[in-house]
Chain A
Amino acid sequence: MTDVVLIDWGGGNIGSVRYALDRLGARSVLSSDADTIANAPRVILPGVGAAAPAMQRLHELDLVDTIRALEVPLLGICLGMQLLYESSEEGEVEGLGVLKGRIERIAPRPGLRVPHMGWNRLRRERSSALLDGIEDGEWAYFVHGFVAPLSEDTLASSDYGSGFTAVAGRGQRFGAQFHPERSAATGQRLLANFLAMEAA
């Protein structure tokens, strides 16, 4: 029995996400096979890197339609979350489009260093099972140069120059801009909540 399938497209943080799942006792499988992903009980799309080569890789692996068609809980992490949106300013690329909106660049300005790198606070915006037990103001570890603006899919926000989406969700599709695998107890809680989700 598998608890979750991690989409293996070559993204940088796949090892550390898998170790985090191991620490939770979850049975995870790494795969780039469409059938395995389509039949998974839950799917995580990890990712560190740039949007355009990542989407190109998902196209080469013929996984774009597979991911779009998933009806089980799906969690994108960091770049993986950004790929769930309709498009990205990073490389002017079309995304998977399962969340509404466009990923934008964080504009550097005096005192605002880019990339946004470090621990920042989460603000709860909407209630979701993904955020059970995570309090307003808890800290999460972010590393990114692009952001999803606030929208009706924003479950939790954070602030860096202006507010942005830290956790997104629409139906069974979720995204975390921060790295749950590197966000100590807060990240562990989010992953545990995700693993507790069942297909609707």
Chain B
Amino acid sequence: MLSRRIVPCLDVRDGRVVKGVKFRDHVDMGDIVELALRYRDEGADELVFYDITASPEGRSVDRQWVERVARVIDIPFCVAGGIRSVDDARAVLHAGADKVSINTPALDRPELIGEIAEVFGVQCVVVGIDSLRDEDGQWRVRQYTGDPSRTRALAKRTLDWVVEAQERGAGEIVLNCMGSDGVRQGYDIEQLQAVRERCAVPLVASGGAGTAEHFVHAFAGADVDAALAASVFHSGAVRIPELKRHLRAQGIEVRDVA
């Protein structure tokens, strides 16, 4: 039986891991390779590296650190941030990443999803969606979320974009619920459930993890395939070995921890 995945997300700025609250006020968390190895040893199932400066600054991910990570890491990892073309995706995948995650560039030009899927297969195309509930009760997509001064609200409804992204060749969806991100009050189960109903590819929950119980809710309540978190792992508030023991005790299948 396929296990549920625990995915630490490492926000990368200028080759270092950083973390902010609600996408703001970033603090240095340490060296990329060091943190990647620590999470691998603790039993992370996959890692996401998100270059938070790439999209707003209009530049591609610096691939040197991708190769540094690929040389030492023996679990899968995904690179997000500033991948705007098949050539950008190729550079990152050939440096050793297993998947690329596209967000803002896919909103600018949705054809990009299919172009990357055509060349490298759907399994390495992840579409990241930053989503926030508007006053009318609809969830809508946000763009350029890496830089609060440039973040834009789009007219596109999150649920419509989830369907379109799959039709275009997304092999996985990461739903980042911005309303709950960084505040550790739990994943947005209602929104995840709504997306799950429309998502036939793997779905990754993101935004809001504060306790081990929040992960239980995401898996048991919204049937997500993976749960992504950053600050709770970086701070040590939730440790992956204990988290996995807790999940298993709740009847949720996870990979054994060494």
Contacts and interface: CB of A to CB of B under 8 A. Distances in A.
Q: Report if A and B associate in a common complex.
A: yes
Interface of A: 12-16, 19-20, 22-23, 48-50, 79, 108, 111, 113-121, 139, 141, 143-145, 159-160, 179, 181-185, 187-188
Given A119-B45, A182-B76, A22 B71 contact: yes
A113 B225 contact: yes
Interface residues of B, number: 37
B96 A15 contact: yes
Contacts of A116: 2
10 contacts: A12-B94, A12-B124, A15-B94, A19-B71, A22-B71, A139-B256, A182-B76, A184-B258, A185-B74, A188-B74
Interface in B240-254: none
B200 A114 contact: yes
Contact of A118 (B45, B124, B258): B45
Contacts of B121: 12, 48-50, 79, 145
Interface of B: 1-5, 40, 45, 67, 70-72, 74-76, 93-96, 98, 119-124, 171-172, 200-203, 223, 225-226, 255-256, 258
A11 to B, nearest CB: 10
B122 A145 contact: yes
A contact patch SS = mixed
B contact patch SS = loop
Contacts of B119: 49
Contacts of B120: 12, 48-49
A185 B258 contact: yes
Q: Max chain B CB contacts within 10 Å: which of A108, A119, A184?
A: A119
A118 B204 CA distance: 12
Contact of B74 (A50, A120, A121, A187): A187
Given A16-B96, A49-B121, A145-B123, A117 B202 contact: yes
B3 A12 contact: no
Contacts of A50: 121
B221 to A, nearest CB: 15
Given A108-B200, A113-B200, A143 B76 contact: yes
